[in-house]
Amino acid sequence: DFALPRIFERFYSLPRPDKGKSSGLGLSFTMEVARQHGGHLALANQPDGGVLATLWLPGN
């Protein structure tokens, strides 16, 4: 929950002990592409762990 307000910022990443640090560009890039196409990207924590990612793009 603490990361959700910043998760779409460029270069923001959380520690990943098993894989090292990420670039922090993937989600910000995806959000920008969605916006450019009139869409939106949303993330929500799941009660049992993990995250739900939803990408909306217009169908026209």
Query: Domain span at residue 23?
Result: 1-60
Overall number of domains in the chain: 1
Of the chain, the percentage scoring pLDDT greater than 70 comes to 97
What's the CATH number where 7 sits? 3.30.565.10
d(CA 25, CA 42): 16
Task: For residue 31, count other CB atoms closer than 10 A to its CB.
Answer: 20
Average pLDDT over residues 1-26: 81
Average pLDDT over residues 49-60: 91
- Let me know: does 40 contact 27? Beta carbons within 8 Å: no
With a CB cutoff of 8 Å and minimum separation 6, the contacts of 5 are none
Q: How much is the mean pLDDT over the chain?
A: 88
Of the chain, the percentage scoring pLDDT greater than 90 comes to 47
Predicted pLDDT of residue 28: 92
Confidence of residue 15 (pLDDT cuts 50, 70, 90): confident
With a CB cutoff of 8 Å and minimum separation 6, the contacts of 54 are 41, 42, 43, 44
